[in-house]
Structure 1
Amino acid sequence: MSTANPLPLWQPDPQRIAQAQITKFQSWAAEHHGAPALGGYPALHRWSVDELEAFWKAVTQWFDVRFTSPYARVLGDRSMPGAEWFPGATLNYAEHALRAAATRADEPALLHVDETHEPRPVTWTELRRQVGSLAAELRALGVRPGDRVSGYLPNIPQAVVALLATAAVGAVWTSCAPDFGARSVLDRFQQVEPVVLFTVDGYRYGGKEHDRRDVVTELRRELPTLRAVVHIPLLGTEAPEGALEWSDLTSADVDPVFEPVPFDHPLWVLYSSGTTGLPKAIVQSQGGILVEHLKQLGLHCDLGPGDRFFWYTSTGWMMWNFLVSGLLTGTTVILYDGSPGYPDTGAQWRIAERTGATLFGTSAAYVMACRKAEVHPSRDFDLSTVRCVATTGSPLPPDGFRWLHDEVREDLWIASVSGGTDVCSCFAGAVPTLPVHIGELQAPCLGTDLQSWDPNGTPLVDEVGELVVTNPMPSMPIHFWNDPDGSRYHDSYFAMYPGVWRHGDWITLTSRGSVIIHGRSDSTLNRQGVRMGSADIYEAVERLPEIKESLVIGVEQPDGGYWMPLFVQLAPGAALDDALLDRIKRTIREQLSPRHVPDEVIEVPGIPHTLTGKRIEVPVKRLLQGTPLDKAVNPGSVDDLELLRFYEELARKRA
C-alpha cells in the first residue's frame, strides 16, 4: 500500500451516504442549478467555488431562506475585503432560528445541563414566547436596529433568549463569559458601547460558586452608554439597585416581531486578539451568518430536526454562536454550563449519554486529556446515539483519532474541524460522505476555495504553506468596530496577498483532497480554542514592578500538547522566588483569564527585539520548535543575536 493512499480509519457505508443531506442537496442542485450529479463531494466542492453565485443561491433555496424583500443578485461585488452579498435583500436571523416552533411546538429546542448533569428542556414554544416577550421589552427600552446589546453570561438558556431577542429587533449582540475579569470584558465591550447589559450574579464551576457581583458593579461604572442592566440571579441574589429582573422582562405571552434588516446588517460582534493593542472587534452580518451556518450545520454537520447538538463551549468563544445556530436546522441544542472535567474527566461523555447527543463537539485538548486519564467512554457510558464526534480549538493529533476510534466506537465519524472566530465558521472539516484519515480534516468546506500558498502566492499540494481563501465567504467580517478606514481589517488578512484572505495557519492540502493543520503561522496564543494576543499578557505582567520585560510563546507540540512558557527579564535586584511566581500567575488569572496562566515562568537575560523595537515572537517560537537559528530568523533584523542563543539552547535541552 503506498503511503500516498493509506487506508482510511473510517468510511461511511452506502446507506449513510444516501441518507446524508449533502447527497440529497447535490442531486437537487444538479437538477435545478447545474451542479454535477456525479463525482461525489469533490465535484460538488469544485462547482461550489467555481460557480459561487449559483451555489449560494442553491443554499438559500434548499434551506428555504425567507427574504422579506428580494435580492437583486447573489454577489454585487466579489472583491475582498468588501464583498457585497445579496444586495437589496432583507431578512431576520432570529425568525429562521425559531421557525421549528411551528412544527415542533412541545419538543425541546434547548436542553440545559449544569454540573448536576440533569438535562432541563426549554420547548420551542417556550423559547419563542420568551424571545417575543424580551424583544418587546428591548423595544420599550428604546433599543433600535444597530444598537449594541451585551451579555456577561454563562452558557445558559437566558443567553440564547437574549441573543435571539437582540437579533429580532435588529440590534447587535456581543458576549463574554463570566470567568473573564473586568479588564478583559471592558477591553471588549467599551469598544462597542452597549446600551443594555445582561448579567449574572455569579456562576458555578468545578463544584464551587463564583460570585461576580463586584465585576458587574465595575462594568456598570465603566460602561457609560448603558441604559439598562438586566439581572439573572443564577446564585439567587437580589437585583442590584437600578437593575431590571430577567423574569419581569420574559413573562409576557407575545409573539416575537422580527425586524427585517438588510442582508449585511450586523448580527453580532466577536473578539479575536491581535498581537498588539485591543482585541479586534469582528462584526458579522445577519444574512452572512444565516446562510453560512445553514450550509455548515445542515450540510456538513448533517443536522436536522431529529438531532441533538452538543458542543462544549462558553459564551466567550465563537463556538457558542455556532452552537446556537443549530436552531436554524430545527435541531435541539444542548447547553452545558460547567467545568469540562467535573466531577471527573469523563463528564462530557456523561452529558452526551444523559442528553442523547447525536453530534458531540468538544476540544482536541479534552480528547487528549481523556486519553491521558484513561477514560473509557463506550465502556462506561451509553453513547449509542452519538454519530459524530467533532473537535476543534486546535488540531486533533493522530493519537486522538485512534483513541476515539478505539474507545468510543469503530463505526464513528470523527470530524476534526478548523475555522476561525474571524468567519465564525469552518474552512475545512466535516463531510458526512467522505472517509476519515488519521490526523486529517476530511476536506475544504463548500463555497470555500481553500488553498495552501508559498510566500510568492504559488499554490502547494502535499507541502506546508499558508492557509488562504481566494474567494469571499458570506460570513467574512463586514468590518471591524472602530476601524473607519478599514485599515486594521485589511492588515489582519489581506496584507500578505492582496485580495486574498490569509488566515495565519500553516496547512497542507493533500493530493487526495484532505487537509492537515499544523498550528498558527503567527504568534497568537491559542489555549483550548480561546485566542489571546501576547500584548494582553505583557500589559498585565509588566505592571509588576519586578518585571522589566516579558515574552510569551505558545508552542504546538508534536504530541498534540500545547506548551506556553512566559519568559521574564527581571528588574535589577528582583528575584524569581515563589512569591513573585504566585503574583505573576494570579495577575494573569484575575486580569485576563485562567486559561492563559503560563505552563512555566522562565527567567531570561533579556528579550530579543527587531531593529524597530518589536519583540521577536515568531522566530523564538520556531527556535523552540527546533528550527535552527539561521533558518528561524534573519540575523540582520535583530537587535541582539546573542540573546536568541539562550532560546536555541533551551530548545536543545528540552528536546
Structure 2
Amino acid sequence: MNNDILWVPDESAFTDSGLARFAKSCGFDPKNYADLHRWSVSDSGSFWSAVWDFTDVVGEKGDVFFVPDETAWMTGARFFPEAQLNLAENLVRGNGAEVAVYEMLESGSMSVITRAELRQRVGRVAQGLRSEGVMPGDRVAGVMPNTIDGLVAAQATISIGAVWTSCSPDFGTSAIVDRIGQVDPKVLFAAPRYRYGGKDHDIGARIADVMLQLPSVRTLVQSGEGEVPGLSSVLMGDFGKDAEPEFTRLPFDHPVYILYTSGTTGAPKAIVHRAGGVLLQHLKEHILHGDVRPGDKVIWYTNTAWMMYHWMVSALGAGAAVVLYDGAPILKREGVLDPSPLWTLAEQIGVTHLGTSPKYLATLAAEGYAPGELHDLSALRSLLVCGAPTLPHQFDWVYQSIKSDMVFSSISGGTEILGSFLIGSPLHPVRRGQLTVKALGHAIDVLDERDAPCIARRGDLVCTEPFPSMPLTFWGKGGDQRYRDTYFADRDEIWTHGDVAELTHVGGGYVHGRSDNTLKPGGVRIGISEIYAVCESYPELEDFLVFGVSHEGDEEVVLCLKPKKTSEITADLVKSIRGHIRTAASPRHVPARVHVVSDIPYTINGKRVEGAARTAAAGGQVKNLGSIANPESLEHYKSLRREDTL
C-alpha cells in the first residue's frame, strides 16, 4: 500500500454503499467516480433529478429540472422551478416507532424521542406559531442550546413555511442583535439558562435586553428553567395545542434558513438559503458521500448557530437518528481535563458518524487521550472534521488512536453553500492530509494567477457551474448586489470561494486556508497551515496564531505563541521552532517576529481570528467585536512591537 494511503474501502462498498447504488442507478460503474462526477456537473438537471428520486424526496418535482440563464450563468440559473416541497416534512417522516433524537446534556442526563413523538411536538409548536399569526415567509428566531426543544422549534417553523434563524446562547447581546435583528423575527424561542464547562449560565437578563432591541418580536417562547426579568413569556410546553403537523409545501426556492457569516470584518452577512437546495444538498452529502443509512446515529459537535448544526439535523432525512450534545466536549474535573464526554456518548448509544474539529483532535492528542483504547467504538463507521485545515499528522493520529477500520473525512465548504465542495467518499482510499474527492454536483477548480486551472499548485478555489444550494440572496436592502459582490466580483459568474486550495492528480485536494489569511513575504504567496503544522508538534505550546504585518513595503510573518501554564517560551525553543518551519515548509515561512501572548482570539464558532489580530497589531479598529468569543485577548496584540520580538 502507498504510504500515504491510510484506509481503503472493502469490496462490499462497491455494491452496498449509497454512492455505489446511486452510481449504478444512473448507469455508471461505481469504480469510475471521475465519469460520475463529470456527468453530475455537465448535466445538472438530470443529476439533481436523480438525487431527488434516489433519496425519495417527498413533494412534487415537476417536469423541469434546470433552467439555465445565458446572461447570468450562475446567479440566474434555476433548479426545479415547478417543484413544491417542505424541508421539515422530509426530515421528520418515517417509522414512528424509530428513535429520532438522542439528547445528552453535559450533566449526563439523556432524553430520547421517537419519530412519532417528534412529529407530535412539531405539530403542537406549529399550531402555536400559527395562532401567533406567523405566516409563510415570516421569520422565527432562536437563542437556544443544542436540545430537543431547539430542534422542535426549528422544524415547526419550517413546517408552516416560515424561515428559521438562530444564535447560540453564548453569544453576547450585540452579537445576537447584529444577526437576528436584521431579519425582524415575529417570535423568539430562548432558553434563559444553559450549562457549559461545569458552570450554570443565567442569560435571562441578556434575553430581556435583546427583546428590548427587537421590536418586531410579538411573542417570547421560553425553553427550560429560569426567567426573563421584566417580560412575559410562554413556556414551550404550553405553546400551542396538540395537532397533527400540517406541512405547507412551497416552491423549491422558498427561503428556509437565514445563516450568518462570522462578521469579524464588518456586520455579519445574513445569507438566505432556499428549502429545496438545502434538502438536496444535505441528502446527497449524507446518503451518497457519508453513506448514512436508516437506523444510523449521527452527531456533529456544534452549536445551534453553526452551519453544521443544520447539516447534522438533515441526517433525519436519511432515516438516521441525530444525537444532540449540549455542553463542553472536554471538562475539567478536579483540575484535570476529561476528554471523555463525546466518546462516552458514542459508546453508550452506538454512534455511527461523529463530526468534530481539527482543534478538538489536537487537544485529545496533546492530552494523550486515545478514544479507541478507552471506549468501544465498534459501531463507528465514519469520523468527519471541518472548520480548519486538518494537518497530515492528525490523519496518522486518528487511525492510530481512534479506529483503523473507518472512513476519516476532512471536508470543506461553508456557511454560504450549507455544504461541502471537497468531501469524503465510501469508495475512495483515505490519503494522508487530503480531502478525498470533489463533491458530486460541484464543478470546482483551482485557478492560478492567470485564472488557468492547475493541479498540484495552489490557487483560488472556484466553482464554475450553478448548484441548488447557492444562496438565494443576502437579507436586506441591496442583498442581491451584495451577494454578487461577495462571490462573483473577482470573476464574472464564476463562484470564487475565498479559500486557497490545491487539487491532486488522484482527484482529492488540500485547503490551505482563507485567501485573506494568505501571506506574501517577498511577494511570494504562502499559506499558514504549514506553520500551524509545525507548532502542533511542540507540547510546550497551548495555542498559536500567524498573521502578516507590513514593514518597509513588504509583509513580515508574525507568529504568536501561547505557552502551556507549565511551560516557558525560551530562546532555544523559538530557535527550534524557526528551524523546524524552515525545513518542514520553506525559508519564506520562517516568522520574522515571534511574540508570547496571553491568549488567542477565536470567533464564537471556534475559529482563529487571524484578521482581527492583524488589525489590532497594526493599530486599527476591529469591527464587530461581538463576533469574537474572547475580544479582551486583542488588547495584548495592540501592544506588540517589532523590537520586542523573540
Q: After TM superposition, is the score higher than 0.5?
A: yes
- Distance, in Å, in 2 between the alignment partners of 1:218 and 1:10 is 52
Tell me the amino acid that sits aligned with residue 563 of structure 1.
Answer: F
Residue 443 of structure 2, aligned match among 446, 449, 460: 449
Which residue number in structure 2 is paired with residue 558 of structure 1? 533
- Tell me the TM-score normalized by structure 2: 0.81
Residues 288-324 of structure 1 show CA distances to partners (whole Å, capped at 9, x for unaligned) of: 1011111011111111212000110001110001011
The farther-off stretch of 348-357 and 277-286 is 348-357
2:111 pairs with 1:120: yes
2:163 pairs with 1:172: yes
Tell me the amino acid that sits aligned with residue 337 of structure 1.
Answer: D
Which residue number in structure 2 is paired with residue 354 of structure 1? 348
* Equivalent position SS for 1:304: coil
Which residue number in structure 2 is paired with residue 512 of structure 1? 506
CA contact (8 A) 1:483 1:489 kept: no
Tell me the amino acid that sits aligned with residue 304 of structure 1.
Answer: R
Superposed, 1:338-377 pairs within 5 Å as: 338-343=327-332, 344-377=338-371
2:38 pairs with 1:27: no
- Distance, in Å, in 2 between the alignment partners of 1:601 and 1:290 is 35
Question: Relative to structure 1, is the Cα distance of residues 435 and 339 closer, same or farther in structure 2, using a 3 angstrom cutoff?
Answer: same
Which residue number in structure 1 is paired with residue 84 of structure 2? 90
Tell me the amino acid that sits aligned with residue 245 of structure 1.
Answer: L
Which residue number in structure 2 is paired with residue 247 of structure 1? 237
CA contact (8 A) 1:82 1:478 kept: no
Superposed, 1:116-155 pairs within 5 Å as: 116-155=107-146
Which residue number in structure 1 is paired with residue 49 of structure 2? 57
2:618 pairs with 1:607: yes
Which residue number in structure 1 is paired with residue 555 of structure 2? none
Residue 263 of structure 1, aligned match among 228, 231, 252: 252
- Distance, in Å, in 2 between the alignment partners of 1:601 and 1:289 is 31
Shift of 1:594: 9.2
Which residue number in structure 2 is paired with residue 543 of structure 1? none
Shift of 1:511: 0.7
CA contact (8 A) 2:546 2:610 kept: yes
Question: Relative to structure 1, is the Cα distance of residues 602 and 331 closer, same or farther in structure 2, using a 3 angstrom cutoff?
Answer: closer
Which residue number in structure 1 is paired with residue 285 of structure 2? 296
- Distance, in Å, in 2 between the alignment partners of 1:53 and 1:130 is 36
* Equivalent position SS for 2:46: helix
Shift of 1:283: 0.5
Shift of 1:614: 12
Which residue number in structure 1 is paired with residue 189 of structure 2? 198
Shift of 1:284: 0.4
Residue 270 of structure 2, aligned match among 274, 281, 303: 281
Which residue number in structure 1 is paired with residue 177 of structure 2? 186
- Distance, in Å, in 2 between the alignment partners of 1:384 and 1:493 is 43
Residue 152 of structure 2, aligned match among 154, 161, 173: 161
Question: Relative to structure 1, is the Cα distance of residues 487 and 308 closer, same or farther in structure 2, using a 3 angstrom cutoff?
Answer: same
Which residue number in structure 1 is paired with residue 384 of structure 2? 390
Aligned residues: 564
2:309 pairs with 1:320: yes
* Equivalent position SS for 1:204: strand
CA contact (8 A) 1:170 1:261 kept: yes
Residues 585-627 of structure 1 show CA distances to partners (whole Å, capped at 9, x for unaligned) of: 99x89xx849579899999997289xxx999xxxxxxxxxxxx
Tell me the amino acid that sits aligned with residue 59 of structure 1.
Answer: V
- Distance, in Å, in 2 between the alignment partners of 1:601 and 1:300 is 35
Residue 5 of structure 2, aligned match among 8, 21, 24: 8
Unaligned runs of 5+ in 2: 333-337, 519-527, 537-542, 550-596, 624-637
Tell me the amino acid that sits aligned with residue 235 of structure 2.
Answer: E
- Distance, in Å, in 1 between the alignment partners of 2:138 and 2:615 is 47
- Distance, in Å, in 2 between the alignment partners of 1:600 and 1:291 is 34
- Distance, in Å, in 2 between the alignment partners of 1:179 and 1:65 is 35
Tell me the amino acid that sits aligned with residue 131 of structure 1.
Answer: V
CA contact (8 A) 1:585 1:598 kept: no
- Distance, in Å, in 2 between the alignment partners of 1:560 and 1:249 is 51
Residues 8-43 of structure 1 show CA distances to partners (whole Å, capped at 9, x for unaligned) of: 11101101332111000111111xxxxx33642222
The farther-off stretch of 503-512 and 342-351 is 342-351
- Distance, in Å, in 2 between the alignment partners of 1:493 and 1:411 is 39
Question: Relative to structure 1, is the Cα distance of residues 614 and 293 closer, same or farther in structure 2, using a 3 angstrom cutoff?
Answer: closer
* Equivalent position SS for 1:492: helix
- Distance, in Å, in 2 between the alignment partners of 1:313 and 1:173 is 17
CA contact (8 A) 2:147 2:325 kept: yes
2:223 pairs with 1:232: yes
- Distance, in Å, in 1 between the alignment partners of 2:612 and 2:91 is 46
Which residue number in structure 2 is paired with residue 571 of structure 1? none
CA contact (8 A) 2:74 2:493 kept: yes
Shift of 1:237: 4.6
Which residue number in structure 1 is paired with residue 66 of structure 2? 74
Tell me the amino acid that sits aligned with residue 288 of structure 1.
Answer: G
Which residue number in structure 1 is paired with residue 632 of structure 2? none
Tell me the amino acid that sits aligned with residue 607 of structure 1.
Answer: A
CA contact (8 A) 2:141 2:164 kept: yes
Tell me the amino acid that sits aligned with residue 22 of structure 1.
Answer: L
- Distance, in Å, in 1 between the alignment partners of 2:605 and 2:494 is 35
Question: Relative to structure 1, is the Cα distance of residues 157 and 556 closer, same or farther in structure 2, using a 3 angstrom cutoff?
Answer: farther
Shift of 1:67: 2.5
* Equivalent position SS for 1:279: coil
Shift of 1:144: 0.5
Question: Relative to structure 1, is the Cα distance of residues 489 and 370 closer, same or farther in structure 2, using a 3 angstrom cutoff?
Answer: same
Question: Relative to structure 1, is the Cα distance of residues 560 and 259 closer, same or farther in structure 2, using a 3 angstrom cutoff?
Answer: farther
Identity %: 37
Question: Relative to structure 1, is the Cα distance of residues 603 and 171 closer, same or farther in structure 2, using a 3 angstrom cutoff?
Answer: closer
- Distance, in Å, in 2 between the alignment partners of 1:310 and 1:485 is 33
- CA RMSD after TM alignment: 3.3
Residues 379-403 of structure 1 show CA distances to partners (whole Å, capped at 9, x for unaligned) of: 1111110011111111111111111
The farther-off stretch of 63-72 and 411-420 is 63-72
Shift of 1:559: 3.7
Tell me the amino acid that sits aligned with residue 421 of structure 2.
Answer: F
CA contact (8 A) 2:423 2:438 kept: yes
Superposed, 1:461-480 pairs within 5 Å as: 461-480=455-474
CA contact (8 A) 1:203 1:210 kept: yes
Question: Relative to structure 1, is the Cα distance of residues 240 and 556 closer, same or farther in structure 2, using a 3 angstrom cutoff?
Answer: farther
Tell me the amino acid that sits aligned with residue 60 of structure 1.
Answer: W
Question: Relative to structure 1, is the Cα distance of residues 603 and 227 closer, same or farther in structure 2, using a 3 angstrom cutoff?
Answer: closer
- Distance, in Å, in 2 between the alignment partners of 1:599 and 1:495 is 23
Tell me the amino acid that sits aligned with residue 152 of structure 2.
Answer: V
The farther-off stretch of 267-276 and 362-371 is 267-276
Question: Relative to structure 1, is the Cα distance of residues 6 and 288 closer, same or farther in structure 2, using a 3 angstrom cutoff?
Answer: same
- Distance, in Å, in 1 between the alignment partners of 2:185 and 2:443 is 36
- Tell me the TM-score normalized by structure 1: 0.80
Question: Relative to structure 1, is the Cα distance of residues 403 and 605 closer, same or farther in structure 2, using a 3 angstrom cutoff?
Answer: closer
- Distance, in Å, in 1 between the alignment partners of 2:114 and 2:351 is 17
CA contact (8 A) 1:59 1:291 kept: yes
Tell me the amino acid that sits aligned with residue 618 of structure 2.
Answer: I
Question: Relative to structure 1, is the Cα distance of residues 394 and 133 closer, same or farther in structure 2, using a 3 angstrom cutoff?
Answer: same
- Distance, in Å, in 2 between the alignment partners of 1:451 and 1:350 is 40
Shift of 1:200: 0.3
